[in-house]
Every structure is written in structure tokens, then in C-alpha cells.
Structure 1
């Protein structure tokens, strides 16, 4: 009886994610008509679109490292192809739909549990992956915000004129984490949950992988920006990280609206808003919705095979 209930819940969950992905895509495209989309695509050289696709593919490949490191952290082994499949699908859904702790975590539970990984181990991998995501943001943004302090638009009503104080806070958090990895060997109890610092080697790998992830994500948008914009990649990376940080904290699906607003506020004196919006539309299509469509297809195939396999039993 319990097995049947789990099977029904798993199937329902898989189908609900497919519906949610279609809703997210429809909601995004509803804001624009076909002319907006075609004009945005036509204005961008095909070579740059190709670069954006390849950078996206590399970025999602790098994200697999989150889960691989997570399994190393808990001293548990699982084949790389299973980890890669789970990581890609969970990343595509959580990046586009948002609510990573709900969407991405649920997908990881769905897949890893079917391969014999315990609920406690999965929870540790999820926490590790989510923490790794933020470590890269804090490390890259912290360095950039201190070295090249970006002026914060007054419309955001933040207590800082530049991002330098935010950079200092970010780097202090990263330094604290690294020091904990070196000196704190005993597990910590936080809100009833046990937390154990990884080894320094794993901690440094977390920062490296996540930083590379953020650098690649920013590069995808940078290569599809208008070619006449006078902006170096490092300058743009700082803008991107500030906008993405605000979007992720807002927990709006894909940072939709929040991300675009900050980018537009900062770039408005360099290039027309219409051109930037066109580039961001292309960016969302390549970085978010192409992976989501592929992930939804893979999830659908997995659910069908899983249901057939259980039916035959």
C-alpha cells in the first residue's frame, strides 16, 4: 500500500513539474510578441548566439560539480551519469522556476532515493549544493566589489553608495567558512541540525566550481549584449552579480523583473533600454528555457520508464 502511494506521489510530482515548466515558459513569452523575439534574435550575430549556447552548455556541466562534491563530502559514491542527470534536471528547473529549495531539492529526492540513497544523505547533498552556490557568488562578487566598486542606483534605496561594503561582507563570510574548514573539526549543531565543515580541499573546490559557474553565466549574457556597448567583461560581471544577487534573494522565478530592472538602471546611460531588453530576452531563452525544455523532456522520459518498470514488477 505504502509503495503504491509513493509511486502515485512520484508520478504526480513528475507530471506537476512538467506542467509548472510549461507555465513558466508561457508566462515569460506572454510578455513579448513574436516581433520582439524575432527582432532581438536578428540583431545579434549568429556567432554570438553560438557562443552563448556553448557557454550555457559548459555552465550546466560545471553545475554537476556541485553534486559530485556533495557526494564526496558525505563519503558516498554514485555513478557520475546518474549524478549528472539529476544535477542537470534539478538545476534547469530551479534556475528557471525559482524556489530552489522546493524544486531542485524535490527532484534530487526523487532521483537519488530511487537509486538507494538515504533521505539523510540526500538532505546533506542538497544543503551542500545550495551552500556551494552562494560561496561562489560571495567569492567572485566580494573581490570585484572591492577592486572595482560599482555605484548602486539610487532607485534601489540601499544604505551604501557603492557595492564595496557588500564586497567586504561577502569576503568575510568566505574567509569565515575557510577558517572553519581548517580549525573546526567537531560537528556544529544549528537549530537541531548537525553541520560539519568539509575539508579545506573540498571547501576550495566548492569556491572554484561555483565561481566558474557564475563567471560562465554572466558571459552568456555578455556575448549577446549589443556590440556597440562600451563595457568590459569584468565591469559587466559586477553588474550581473549585483542584479542576480537581488533576483535570487527575491526568490522570484529566475529573478524575473528584479534582475532586468537593475541591469537596465545601470546600463541605461550606455545603450538603449530596448536593445538591453532584447539581449536579456535572448539570454533567458538560451540560458533558462532551452535547458528547461531539455530537462522537462528528460524528466518525462524518466517518469515513463519508471512507471513502466514498476508496472512490470
Structure 2
């Protein structure tokens, strides 16, 4: 009965109802979409204005001057990073205990990752994974849990490396980034604390799932969480090594790693697919402390070509091949079910 409720129980008043109605209204969606579009246009305008100052012939010449051995080494490191990321969904496989084999699980991740890089997490991280996993019998809930665990794996290592880099070395930031070296250090400490709390949570739960608002999220054991941290750190470190190889050692490894770390967050916040232009602006600002601007931009453009674009073609071909294979199997399955 209502009379038995404690007086401290929060009640939804008319104001709360009006706010909920406003947030659910088409007008709010239009306003929110308009604001996001305005932010994206502002970022694009800033990038175009900065691009007009670039000596593009010098950048092209710097790209052509990159030795084939340098490109090969960077490509090898980039593919090694993709392979490390391909193991991320194995943590979800272990926690969810779905029936797909290790090679099949890694294949799904390796196909989806280039789409995530180039088209955004919604298409690569969710849509491609959902299509590939659902056709192999996983439920929506299982897929969601695998994706969440993969995202957590990606960022726990990032947070740790950000702390190590920013505490020991202050990168040269792009114009308009009003952050001091001391602020970056404490930001790194805050990020590392998130990773530490995740490890403590896994230790406390002892492999038991975490329930939030009626939804259950599997948690790994603390040993598995530590493996997540190490593999994620390896992945980001390999990405930084690929940039460092393209810089041919003329920029310190910390600068190359900071290019990747800062570029990833800037691209995520800008909401521009693949961080197009954002990664280049951040990387040029960081690396130009050690290289001419044209060479710094050439390094980042070469990294984008090797890490983002080159794996997209084989991933698209693999996705197309799986679609054709499943379409061939579908009529055969229907025929067998109908007794023909």
C-alpha cells in the first residue's frame, strides 16, 4: 500500500514527468542532433583551416622518401597489433562460455576491427559483430556481453599506458589544448586508478557476475583481468611502435605512443568516423617537436594507410565471403527441413 512506503522514497513529480517527455520528444532529438552536427562542423572547419597551412607537396615528398624497409617494419607491427586485438573477444568467450571455437571467435574480431577503425564503433564494434555472431547461434545478450568485455579490455590497458607516458613525459599538444604537464600527469593517475579499480572489482567478485539494474555482466577472475590489462597494453604499445618505426627513430617512442593515445581519445570525442583529420592534427602537433611538420604529417598519414586502410580490404572480402557462404547454406537448410 502507498501509505506504508517510507517518507524518504523519491516520487516522480510533474517536473520529472515533463523532463522525461521532453527528452523523449522528437524536438529534443532534433536539437541534440543539431548540436552534435554543429560541433562536427566546427571541428571540420578547424581541420580544413589547419590543412590549408600545410605544404602538401613537401608532405608528398616525405611520404615518397620513406624507405620500403621502414614501411615493411611498420606494417608488420601494425598487423601484430591487429592480431593482439583479435584476441580481445576471447575474454568474452571465456566469461560468457559460448560454444564458438577460438579460431572462429578471433576471426569475428579480426573482421570487425577494421570496420570499427574506419566506420566507427557502432558499425564495426556492434553491427558487424552482431551479424557474424548471430549467424553462428549467439543470442543478443551473449553478443552484448562479449562486446562490452572487449571494450573494457581495450581501455584498461590504455588507461595504464596513459599514466606511464604522461607521468614521465609531457607531449607537445595541439593549439587550443589548454593542459599543463602537471594536469596531464594527474589525468594519467586518474585513468590508471580506473584500471586498478577494475582489477580490484574482479578480485572481489571472484569470477561472479556483476548485476546492475537487473542486467548481469560476467566478470573474469582477477588473473584473467590481469591478462586483459597486459594484452591491451601490448596492443597499444604495438600501435605506438608502428608510428615510431615510421619516424625512423628520430622521435622518441614516448612521442609515438602519445600520438596514438591522444589521437584515439580526440577522435572518440570528435565523433568523426575514424578520427579523420583529428589523428593527423594531434600526431603532427606531437611529432613536430622532433620532425619538420611535413615529415610529421607524412608519418601519421602513412600510419593511417597501414593501420586503418590496409586491413579494411581483406576484412571486407572476408565479410563478403561469409555472407555468400551463409546464403548458399540457407537454401540447403530450408530444403532439408521441408523433407526434400
Runs (4+) off by over 6 Å: 34-38
- The answer to whether the aligner puts 1:284 opposite 2:296 as a matched pair is no
Whole-angstrom CA distance in 2 between matches of 1:75 and 1:269: 48
Query: Is the partner of 1:101 in helix, strand or coil?
Result: helix
State the structure with more CA Rg. Answer: 2
Shift of 1:149: 3.8
Shift of 1:200: 0.2
CA spacing shift, 1:135–1:69, aligned 2, 3 Å: same
Shift of 1:35: 7.5
Shift of 1:153: 4.6
The residue aligned with 1:166 is 187
CA spacing shift, 1:205–1:121, aligned 2, 3 Å: same
Whole-angstrom CA distance in 1 between matches of 2:289 and 2:162: 23
Higher relative contact order (Cα pairs below 8 Å, separated by 6+ residues): 1
Q: Superposed, which structure 2 residues align to 1:91-102 within 5 Å?
A: 91-98=113-120, 100-102=121-123
Shift of 1:260: 1.5
Gaps of 5+ in 1: 1-30
Whole-angstrom CA distance in 2 between matches of 1:89 and 1:309: 21
Tell me the TM-score normalized by structure 1.
0.81
Task: Number of aligned residue pairs: give it.
Answer: 279
CA spacing shift, 1:83–1:162, aligned 2, 3 Å: same
- The answer to whether the aligner puts 1:308 opposite 2:324 as a matched pair is no
Shift of 1:158: 4.2
Q: 1:253 aligns with which of 244, 268, 273?
A: 273
Q: Deviations over 1:83-142 (max 9, x none)?
A: 1221111101001112x1343211111111111122211111011001111111101111
The residue aligned with 1:217 is 239
Tell me the TM-score normalized by structure 2.
0.75
Gaps of 5+ in 2: 1-51, 335-340
Shift of 1:265: 2.1
CA RMSD of aligned residues (A): 2.5
8 Å contact 2:267–2:278 — kept in the other structure? yes
8 Å contact 1:151–1:162 — kept in the other structure? no
